[in-house]
Amino acid sequence: MTQDKTKKKKPVPAEEAPRAGRHSAGKHSAGAVKRADPVKKPKKGVGPKKAVSTKKGRKRRKGAAKKPALTLRTILKRVGLSVLTLLILVLVGALGAGRVAFKGPSQSLGDLLTVSMLETSALKFVPRIYYNDAEMDAIIARNSVDSSVSETDTSMIVIAGPTPEPGSEAALSATPKPSNLLYSEDGIEIFDVEGATYNGWMMVVQDPSRVVTGVCRENFNSKPGLELYEIAERYGAVAAINGGGFSDSGGVGNGGMPTGLVIAGGEVLNKSGGSSDHNVVVGFNQDNVMIIGEMTSKQALDKGIRDALAFGPALVVNGEAARVKGSSSGLNPRTAIGQRADGAVLMLVIDGRQASSLGATYADLISVMLEYGAVNAINLDGGSSSLMYYRGEYLNKGVILTGSRKMPTGFVVK
């Protein structure tokens, strides 16, 4: 047996095998191994980033700046800053709107807002933001009431006889009552009063001898006054309205000290203390006739006045209405008292500073008083003091923000 001397060729590794191409296709057999394409290096900046896995990288991540934690102090600072910013924006907007309202094209609107705010305790400074002293004086002059009061002619009042008992033949034959009558009993009628800018109540007391001055105490001092219902209860009264003015510096008065003359049961309880705007006296003499005028305590007693308070201005004297210029004192809550020719006493209260009842002007009070037959009438303290009490409750809402106030005086119906 002969040995095959033919040497076997070693297989060429894949990487060393010649690349098949157009020049070598015929030189190699069909079974030749094709060389693999070399792996291309990625271009710089292309492809996935190499993950950092070193301790140095981990330390860098751990040492990165952290967001500071929100403390209560920080939160309060931010909230406070936001609120302050909002308040500034609101204030700027309000000042801008106020300038348009006060000093815009409508002088009558600016006058109305000014005189209305001047009667408030908390907002009387607002018009002075927009007007100087000379402008304020001009506005007040354009919107005022002639305060001159002539001597009351007592002969124009003739006290009628007693009111017929309810259900009696005389009462049943009387003229039918108007639709705005709310109550009618025991010689007292209460009517609903409405105007373009206000809602109110008119109380008619047939017997004027029942109307007297009510006080929180006989000796006035710095102690707080009483609410109107407490004054009424003190006298056992069925009805009452607020009365004269009182010391109320900055709108925080306690209602304990009246301003102006106060006479109750023929006794002088307070002689003076009122401003010139509140020195018009309204009282009832021994014949139960209402007298209105500027007078001292001695002059009042000489006229035989039994009960009196002071405020003003006079609205109707001897059947003649006071002369009103412009919007007088603007739209505000009001209280007034008057008397008809038959002696019946008229007590009027108007709500104000509310969405449903902005308030009334002096001209409005005059109109209502004349409509109900007033021969004499006068304005009493108003604003947040304006209240009407009847049989255990207030008929009007009063100024909602402040509620009922303590006061030194009122007119009560026994």
Domain residue spans of the chain: 81-142, 145-413
Residue 327 binned pLDDT confidence (cut-offs 50, 70, 90): confident
Check residue 88 and give its pLDDT: 80
212: which strand partners?
412
- Contacts for 380 with CB less than 8 Å, ≥ 6 apart: 241, 242, 243, 244, 282, 309, 311, 335, 336, 337, 411
Question: 185 versus 161: which is more confidently predicted?
Answer: 185
* Residue 297 CA: distances (Å) to CA of 188, 280, 408: 31, 12, 18
Mean pLDDT of all residues belonging to the chain: 82
What's 328-349 look like in SS3?
A: CCCCECEEEEEEECCCCEEEEE
**pLDDT tens digits along 3-47:** 454 445 555 554 444 444 444 444 444 444 455 555 555 454 455
Phi, psi dihedrals of residue 147, rounded to the nearest 5°:
-90, 0
**3-class DSSP state for residue 362?**
helix
- Sheet with 334-340, strands from edge to edge, namely 181-185, 188-194, 199-205, 345-350, 334-340, 374-379, 314-317, 320-321
Q: How far apart are CA 63 and CA 225, in angstroms?
A: 72
Is the Cβ–Cβ distance between 413 and 205 less than 8 Å? Answer: yes
Is the Cβ–Cβ distance between 200 and 349 less than 8 Å? Answer: yes
Is the Cβ–Cβ distance between 207 and 201 less than 8 Å? Answer: no
Check residue 100 and give its pLDDT: 81
Let me know the angle formed at the C-alpha of 412 by 154 and 349, rounded to the nearest 5 degrees.
85
Let me know the angle formed at the C-alpha of 291 by 370 and 299, rounded to the nearest 5 degrees.
155
Q: How far apart are CA 191 and CA 242, in angstroms?
A: 18
Check residue 176 and give its pLDDT: 60
Q: How far apart are CA 114 and CA 275, in angstroms?
A: 20
Task: Summarize the confidence of residues 62-69 as an average pLDDT.
Answer: 59
Computed over its alpha carbons, how large is the radius of gyration of the chain? 45
**pLDDT tens digits along 130-166:** 999 999 999 999 998 886 778 899 999 999 776 555 5
Question: The whole model's pTM is what?
Answer: 0.75
Q: Taking Cα atoms as reference points, which of 241, 232, 381, 228 lies closest to residue 312?
A: 381
Q: How far apart are CA 387 and CA 133, in angstroms?
A: 33
The alpha helices in 11-50, defined as continuous H runs, are none
**3-class DSSP state for residue 174?**
coil
Q: Inter-axis angle of helices 107-118 and 133-142, to 10 degrees?
A: 100
Element (H, E) at 413: strand 409-413
Least trusted range by pLDDT, from 122-126, 198-202, 340-344: 122-126
Indicate whether 345 pLDDT > 90: yes
DSSP state of 243: -
Let me know the angle formed at the C-alpha of 366 by 127 and 147, rounded to the nearest 5 degrees.
65
Residue 244 binned pLDDT confidence (cut-offs 50, 70, 90): very high
Is the Cβ–Cβ distance between 321 and 362 less than 8 Å? Answer: no
Q: How far apart are CA 251 and CA 1, in angstroms?
A: 141
Residue 184 binned pLDDT confidence (cut-offs 50, 70, 90): very high
